[in-house]
Amino acid sequence: MTSLCLRRPDDWHLHVRDAAALAAVLPFTTARFARAIIMPNLKPPITTTALALAYRERIRAALPAGSGFEPLMSLYLTDVTDPAEIARAKTSGVVHGAKIYPAGATTHSDAGVTDIRRLDAVLARMEELDLVLQVHGEVTDPAVDVFEREPRFIDEALAPLAERHPRLRIVFEHITTEAAVSFVLGARAGVAATVTPQHLLMNRNALFTGGIRPHHYCMPVLKAERHRAALLAAVAAGTPRLFLGTDSAPHGRRAKEIACGCAGIFSAHAGIELYAEAFEAAGALDKLEGFASCHGADFYRLPRNTGTITLVSEPWEVPASYPFGTDELVPLRAGERIGWRLAAAAE
Ligand code: NCD
Ligand code: ZN
């Protein structure tokens, strides 16, 4: 049995929802990660520092006893975000980024940005005050093929934005394509990306294995094998521009197993173990710690964690579901095995 001791990791892209759902999912993350960027796409969204501070308190109130977990907050940008809000966010000390959701791109994004050019004043303020921009990088034009939405966004929106704001630090969230990998690796300094476990471990065939598989549906949607291979090769090479962001996005079973199911894969129950599998398959376990515990902290200019976690290569069976308020949650790999297990964690 191989054992792997890592500096305690952080999750740079996480959905924890609110109320009963929050209480149900948060302990999975706090058992593994010291900090996480908390996505602001609640309903209504977290558009102001005041809302972020209140949400942070609700998260802290839901923490398991004794947990030192730190929620890192993010603001949801809209067409009417006031540049003055950026200064409030920065001085709060608890808001570490602000996120562009192109309107209609994903779950709870209808209040998002309809035209990125309208954000120039806000982005200029972020650049000046050095607040990180997080981007959901897909165009929303329904005429664009769903598998082409990320590459199109790079050409039409992200590359020009990075040039217009040359000092703005940008995280291209949950990248899924070869085009995104080459863009990030070749971009100017200050551009990085998060990578999810599902996009390293599965290709789009997983949506249709033996029938339609709603629990493998997320945004951006899984891509063809060559894209998965490109993502895995890039993280296996150890570039500091790529780091861990699970995009664990819980939706109850009833919202997933219907005619028009929600996008989102829940992975927090194995939020580091799944990456260990992917890195092991790439022969790059030695690169896992940089990806999971160093590159993100360095990019966000936060101290690296001092605690550790220990993983062992001992397969375990994932439960068929977990409790989730009045519903239940079907986790990634439900009823199947994961090759790595969390054996210990110290803060
Ligand atoms: C996310 C969610 O459910 O909040 N869903 C998803 O498929 N990733 C939204 C998002 O991050 O796009
Ligand atoms: Zn997300």
* Segment 51-78, tens digit of pLDDT: 999 999 999 999 999 999 999 999 999 9
Ligand whose nearest atom lies closest to the CA of 263 = 1
Ligand whose nearest atom lies closest to the CA of 140 = 1
* Segment 24-59, tens digit of pLDDT: 999 999 999 999 999 999 999 999 999 999 999 999
As a whole number of angstroms, the distance between CA 99 and CA 95 comes to 11
Ligand 1-lining residues (CB < 6 angstroms): 15, 41, 106-107, 136, 218-219, 247, 249, 263-264
Which ligand 1 atom is nearest residue 41's CA?
4
Active site residues: 247
Using the CB atoms, write b or e for 136-175: b if 16+ within 10 Å. bbbbbeeeeeebebbbbbbeebbeebbeebeebbbbbbbb
Classify residue 257 by its DSSP letter.
S
Which ligand 1 atom is nearest residue 251's CA?
3
As a whole number of angstroms, the distance between CA 116 and CA 81 comes to 12
Task: Provide the strand spans (E) within the chain.
Answer: 3-7, 11-14, 35-38, 70-76, 95-100, 132-135, 170-172, 191-195, 242-244, 308-312, 316-317, 322-324, 327-329, 337-338, 341-346
Q: Which domains does the chain have, with CATH numbers?
A: 9-304 (3.20.20.140)
Peptide bond into 220 cis (omega under 30): yes
Whether the pLDDT of residue 107 is over 80: the answer is no
As a whole number of angstroms, the distance between CA 14 and CA 28 comes to 12
* Segment 317-341, tens digit of pLDDT: 999 999 999 999 999 999 999 999 9
Closest CA to 116 of 86, 172, 156: 156
Whether the pLDDT of residue 1 is over 80: the answer is no
Residue nearest to atom 11 of ligand 1 (CA): 247
Which ligand 1 atom is nearest residue 105's CA?
12
Calculate mean pLDDT across residues 223-242.
98
What local confidence, expressed as pLDDT, does residue 105 receive? 78
Ligand whose nearest atom lies closest to the CA of 38 = 2
* Segment 180-221, tens digit of pLDDT: 999 999 999 999 999 999 999 999 999 999 999 999 999 999
Ligand 1 centroid, distance to 66 Cα (angstroms): 29
Ligand 2 centroid, distance to 247 Cα (angstroms): 4
In sequence order, what are the residues at sequence separation of 6 or more whose Cβ sits closer than 8 angstroms to the Cβ of residue 167? Answer: 127, 130, 190
pTM exceeds cut of 0.95: yes
